[in-house]
Amino acid sequence: MIQFKLSRFHAAIAIMAGCMCSQAQDHVGYLQQVQSAEVSLSLVSNKNPSNIGDGTAVVVKVSGSGLLAPSGTITFSAVPTNLATATTVVSAPIALNSSGNADWVFNLAPGTYQIFAAYSGDSDYQPSQSNPLTQTVIGPADFTLALDSGPLTVKEGSTWNGSITATSINNFQGTVILTCSGGSSDAAVSCVQGKPLALSAGGSVQFPIQVSTTGTSLNVISSSVFMVGFGLASKRRRRKQMKALSVLCLLLLIAGCGGIRYEQKDGTPKGDYKMNFTGQSGSLSHAVSFVVSVQ
């Protein structure tokens, strides 16, 4: 067994070193690095294609991998596929709601766009950007009216029949009401308007229409000169009056002065008559005018 004899100086140093080691073991520190979680972005449109200025919106859903819903803002951008006809449009930052959603009601010129959503990130989640959504914007929804081809002539006293076609443009859909005016009350020309018809997006409907005229008429007017007192006579006397009346009528006919006269009522005069048909659906209205010739 080997023994060491330490001086008081060396013993003091040994004690101090032991205390320092003990203190170092009692104050060990740890450095922990925490990274923000990733998110996924899904982008959808509530109408595609959309009409210009119709209030269509794109909605982004930000989904986080943690327990807390992502917060922060979304900035949308719409990049046209044809930069020669439109420019890039960028939205102001839009705050996510409590469910992690944000929507942007855009007002873009007609064309095709690639729409992106950029997430700002927050204290728990990293910034991110969505995949592009292709959005097509077309012109305002509307419809057209057109007179179908056919002859525009009618004989006096007859009815002209035709049709008008309403066609949807830019995905218009709704009920179209057709009304008519024109002709001439003095000339007895009138139109028959079509019934309201439902027009579907991209479709067409046909309205049957008519223009009616009035023919010349000949009214027979009977003279009552010989009938005075006939209804008040007795039966025997009426027989005698009938015989006398028959002889008198025969004499008048022979003489060229019959007891019956005629009155002629003219119909629609020959000529051209302008007819106006108007189709209306809400605030939209279109008209078709044409001329019908009465022969």
pLDDT at 291 exceeding the cut of 70: yes
Identify the domain boundary among 110, 138, 166. 138
281 band by pLDDT with thresholds 50, 70 and 90: very high
66 band by pLDDT with thresholds 50, 70 and 90: confident
Are 206 and 241 contained in the same domain? no
pLDDT at 181 exceeding the cut of 70: yes
Contact 91, 115 (CB under 8 A): no
227 belongs to a structural domain: yes
Identify the domain boundary among 101, 117, 138. 138
| Confidence (pTM) | 0.63
Tell me the torsion sign for CA atoms 180, 183, 185, 189.
negative
Q: How many CA atoms lie within 13 A of 113 on its CB side?
A: 28
pLDDT at residue number 22: 47
249: CB partners within 8 A, 6+ apart:
226, 258, 259
pLDDT at residue number 182: 80
1 band by pLDDT with thresholds 50, 70 and 90: very low
Can you give the residue range of the structural domain that contains 171? Answer: 142-216+267-294
Which of helix, strand or coil describes residue 293? strand
pLDDT at residue number 226: 43
Query: Measured at the alpha carbon of residue 205, what is the angle toward residues 153 and 158, in degrees to the nearest 5?
Result: 25
Are 129 and 93 contained in the same domain? yes
Are 204 and 275 contained in the same domain? yes
Which of helix, strand or coil describes residue 15? helix
How far is Cα 275 from Cα 187, in angstroms, rounded to an integer? 13
Are 211 and 90 contained in the same domain? no
Identify the domain boundary among 80, 104, 138. 138
Are 148 and 126 contained in the same domain? no
239 belongs to a structural domain: yes
Overall domain count for the chain: 3
Are 146 and 207 contained in the same domain? yes
| CATH number of the structural domain spanning residue 157 | 2.60.40.10
Question: How many Cβ atoms are within 10 Å of 25's Cβ, its own excluded?
Answer: 8
Query: Of the candidates 202, 73, 194, 181, which has an alpha carbon nearest to the alpha carbon of residue 138?
Result: 202
